[in-house]
Amino acid sequence: MANGSLSYPQDTTPLWRDPLRWTRTNRALAMGLLVLGARLVAALVASSMARPGEPVRLVRPDLLVPVEQALWAAVAVWAGLCAVGAGLWRANKELPVYATAVIGAFWITNGLFIYGNGVTSPVGWVLMVTMALLVNLLFDAHHAYGGMALSLCIVVGTSLAQRRGLLPYAPLMSAAGLMEAGGPSNRMLWATLVPTTMAATPMLLLGHVALQRLRERERQLEWLSRVDPLTHLANRRAFLERFQVELARSVRTGASVAVAILDVDHFKHVNDLYGHAVGDRALEQIAQALRSAVRTADLVARIGGEELAVLMPDTELQGALVVAERCRTTIAGIGLIAKGQVVTLTATFGVAATSAGQPVPEMDAVLAAADQGLYAGKQAGRNRVEAGHLSSADHRSSTLG
């Protein structure tokens, strides 16, 4: 924790492990490499089927060579897309049309892939669903579900064309060619396992990253709910929670807890004369001054408009008065320039503390005592530090914690 402040929760995940933080072009390149690998496996399987003497039963053996050529052409296209992406990555250049080209090419080839495997094969449909989620995570819903609709249109179109005899039946391989010794052939296992794994693995990894990002966002929102947005000091809620914790600790250890409440002198006059923007700058500089004047264990908070507080654990009243006086002189040294003039800022402090070895008072009683000191300081002329004292009626044997 920095002096007087709540520490902002930092995201320490390395960039290479968080694709959601990559540039759009780099995400498209990663997707292109993934598809290139899948297309390469498909082309190698087709080439193995075309080897002389290979015992593969085909429905249309005459189409094997054209299919093999088409698959290798697809490999060449995806290799070219990946080469372009690699060049953009090395040049650290963002090209929006590149991502659109990669996503569009995938959805077109996925529709053709389903036709080539047959609409009853689950592989293409698994790819369609998982890649729709993947594209939605990496890019946006428009590219995900619009592209999915494009793939479906290609599947429906090719199926209708096949029914009318305009396209050959697919898949080329017959059911007997997929089986070997009463079970699935190695070729079938490769053709099914590789594309499915290549789609499911990045989906699982991205799901893990997205969940981490969600948890990180929750931590950041929690931090924002406890911090004043102008000064970045703790807000009233965080201050009271921490005060309650320190009082509970005081019950267990017997240590003292001190609090100083300060009010910026004639702050309304500063706002009226110079404007609220200058008033905001004044509060920001006062917050910075307080951070520099307190200890690391102390907590500075903005608990009202121009009212701030300093919580000082393990501090007796005399020590708290010393800290408050240091804060007061630091604030008085601020030279705020507004409308060509130097605006002098001062603050009045009221300080109260529990006593070591004594019953711990209620939090409201300690705050009321500090408020009394603040009121006394204002009555005495402002720009001063005054102690507020707890009466014996304010003490009680606490069971906090």
Which residues form the catalytic set? 306
Q: What does DSSP say about strands 183-184 and 179-180: parallel, antiparallel, or unpaired?
A: antiparallel
Tell me which DSSP letter residue 166 carries: S
Task: Report CA torsion sign: 7, 8, 9, 12.
Answer: negative
- Taking alpha carbons only, the member of 373, 372, 352 closest to residue 362 is 352
Pinpoint the alpha helices (H) of 141-255.
141-163, 175-178, 186-224, 236-253
Which residues in 184-204 are b (16+ Cβ under 10 Å) and which e?
Answer: ebebbeebbebbbebbeebbe
- In angstroms, rounded to a whole number, what is the distance separating the alpha carbons of residues 330 and 333? 5
In sequence order, the β-bridge partners of residue 312 are 258
- Taking alpha carbons only, the member of 268, 271, 258 closest to residue 299 is 258
321 and 332 in contact (C-beta within 8 Å)? no
Show contacts of 95-103: CB within 8 Å, 24+ apart: 95/25, 96/24, 98/25, 98/28, 99/24, 99/25, 99/27, 99/28, 99/139, 99/143, 100/143, 102/28, 102/29, 102/31, 102/32, 103/28, 103/31, 103/135, 103/139, 103/143, 103/147
- In angstroms, rounded to a whole number, what is the distance separating the alpha carbons of residues 312 and 257? 6
- In angstroms, rounded to a whole number, what is the distance separating the alpha carbons of residues 22 and 77? 24
- Taking alpha carbons only, the member of 27, 73, 83, 23 closest to residue 46 is 73
283 and 261 in contact (C-beta within 8 Å)? no
Q: How many CB atoms lie within 10 A of CB 308?
A: 29
